């Protein structure tokens, strides 16, 4: 039986979840993974009243963990720059690294992998994307004979939890507060609800799927904070629901990369994944479209992914740190893409308002597939809901601005429709 001595850096929810998983499930890990895991040391700046590590050695300086007699550094501190420095120091000291930190992989992964290869160690990061749902190993091992053409997924459990509740009639703000109370959202939820978390994850998946270096961070990202519950009502009437979708697509010599809210058909696979679940569709040439789903948040699911990396480390010679990917990730200009759009427009209930609005679309050459004036609102206002024909993204911002400049209009909201 293999044995790994590990040091855990960090002592928050994820780290204590890993500690408890190893403590409670070690017999299962020995049986299924042919591995015994020994936690030698924990790097913790302060104690955690929710978990007692017993007689395991504690280092108050997390960098001192590396100096102990261990095989693997498990980085669970989060953040970017300190995590980078910790990982690089571990690598230079010939320690393997397992991390659940998608931000440090997205921003510094290429540097980290190069250093790991030079030092003959592995860096594994299954839990960095979709917690314990095994998408990383799926792309790097199980689909190694396939050409992946597209990945589309709901990659942030917090956003999916909020949108699922809004679909049932809840407002955004109290749902966000509920997510924070349940531990699905951080006290500062910006990273989740404004799309950055999903963006980091789709960037990592894109690199693995298409064999490129990690992408630059300037692709299109939009969060869910502007979505209203009324959008779900009107979307449902048209056979859609609202999700936050991250997409990477191989378009010959360039990559399409984006993360933003979309309307998707309400009978689709992704539309029916609720709460904190992550869901991913992977399009391949040999196997067709694969669906994978699992919990996208929580200490247990993250711990599952970390343990799977440790088992892989002990039993496999495959090293994704020694990737042959060298090509730069050239991105398609987002403004050159075309989408259908859902528009919600709040306008005064006066003669000629519909004609004024439709003229704005006509000036841009944008066709309208359907348009409906809904029930009156308060203060003599009416909602107008329309679906456009596909039009180029570069015209979208100007179109919204032109509509808002109409004296009769006081609100415009739009959501792209995912049709592929």
pLDDT of residue 324: 52
214: helix, strand or coil = coil
Q: At 375, is the pLDDT very low, low, confident or very high (cuts 50, 70, 90)? A: confident
User: Lowest-confidence range among 31-45, 159-173, 373-387?
Assistant: 373-387
pLDDT of residue 196: 96
Distance CA 276, CA 297 (A): 6
- Active centre residues (catalytic): 201
User: Lowest-confidence range among 163-167, 186-190, 259-263?
Assistant: 186-190
pLDDT value at 325 more than 80: no
Q: At 295, is the pLDDT very low, low, confident or very high (cuts 50, 70, 90)? A: confident
Instruction: Select from 218, 224, 100 the least CA-distant residue to 159.
Output: 224
pLDDT value at 320 more than 80: no
pLDDT of residue 344: 97
The residues, any chain, with a CB within 8 Å of residue 213's CB and separated by 6 or more, are: 110, 207, 325, 326, 327, 328, 329
Distance CA 25, CA 35 (A): 12
Instruction: Select from 368, 359, 319 the least CA-distant residue to 341.
Output: 368
Percent of the chain with pLDDT over 90: 85
Q: At 298, is the pLDDT very low, low, confident or very high (cuts 50, 70, 90)? A: confident
pLDDT value at 323 more than 80: no
Residue 334, Cβ neighbours under 10 Å: how many? 16
- Checking DSSP bridges between strand 277-284 and strand 148-154, what pairing results, if any? antiparallel
The full set of domains in the chain, from first to last, is: 2-128 (3.40.50.720), 135-296 (3.30.360.10), 337-417 (3.30.70.260)
If you average pLDDT over every residue of the chain, what do you get?
94
pLDDT value at 107 more than 80: yes
Percent of the chain with pLDDT over 70: 98
Mean pLDDT of 206-233: 94
Mean pLDDT of 377-389: 89
Distance CA 333, CA 337 (A): 7
């Amino acid at each position: 039986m293999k044995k790994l001595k590990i040091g855990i850096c960090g002592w928050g929810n994820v780290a204590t979840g890993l500690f408890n998983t190893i403590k409670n499930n070690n017999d299962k890990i020995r049986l299924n993974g042919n591995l015994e895991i020994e936690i030698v040391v924990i790097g913790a700046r302060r104690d955690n009243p929710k978990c007692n590590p017993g007689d395991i050695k504690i280092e108050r300086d997390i960098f001192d963990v590396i100096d102990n007699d261990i095989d693997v550094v498990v980085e669970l501190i989060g953040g970017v720059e300190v995590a980078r420095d910790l990982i690089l120091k571990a690598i230079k000291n010939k320690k393997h690294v397992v991390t659940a930190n998608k931000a440090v992989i997205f921003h510094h992964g290429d540097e980290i992998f190069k250093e790991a290869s030079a030092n003959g160690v592995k860096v594994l990061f299954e839990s960095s994307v979709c917690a314990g749902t095994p998408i990383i190993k799926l792309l790097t091992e199980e689909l190694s004979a396939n050409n992946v053409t597209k990945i589309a997924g709901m990659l942030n459990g917090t956003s999916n939890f909020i949108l699922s509740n809004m679909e049932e009639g809840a407002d955004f703000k109290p749902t966000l507060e509920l997510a924070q109370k349940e531990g699905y959202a951080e006290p500062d939820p910006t990273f989740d609800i404004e799309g950055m978390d999903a963006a980091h994850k789709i960037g990592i998946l894109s690199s693995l799927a298409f064999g490129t270096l990690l992408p630059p961070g300037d692709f299109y990202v939009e969060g869910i904070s502007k979505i209203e519950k009324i959008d779900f009502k009107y979307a449902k009437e048209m056979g859609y629901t609202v999700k936050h979708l991250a997409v990477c697509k191989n378009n010959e010599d360039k990559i399409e990369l984006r993360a933003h809210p979309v309307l998707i058909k309400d009978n689709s696979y992704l539309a029916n994944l609720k709460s904190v679940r992550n869901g991913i569709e992977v399009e391949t040439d040999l196997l067709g479209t694969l669906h994978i789903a699992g919990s996208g948040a929580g200490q247990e699911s993250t711990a599952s992914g970390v343990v799977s990396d440790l088992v892989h480390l002990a039993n496999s010679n495959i090293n994704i740190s020694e990737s042959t990917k060298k090509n730069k990730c050239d991105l398609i200009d987002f403004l050159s893409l075309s989408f259908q759009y859902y528009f919600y427009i709040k306008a005064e209930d006066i003669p000629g308002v519909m004609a004024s609005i439709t003229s704005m679309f006509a000036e841009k050459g944008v066709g309208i597939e359907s348009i409906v004036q809904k029930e009156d609102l308060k203060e003599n206002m009416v909602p107008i809901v329309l679906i456009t024909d596909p039009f180029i993204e570069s015209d979208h911002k100007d179109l919204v601005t032109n509509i808002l400049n109409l004296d009769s209009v006081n609100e415009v909201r739009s959501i792209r429709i995912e049709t592929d």
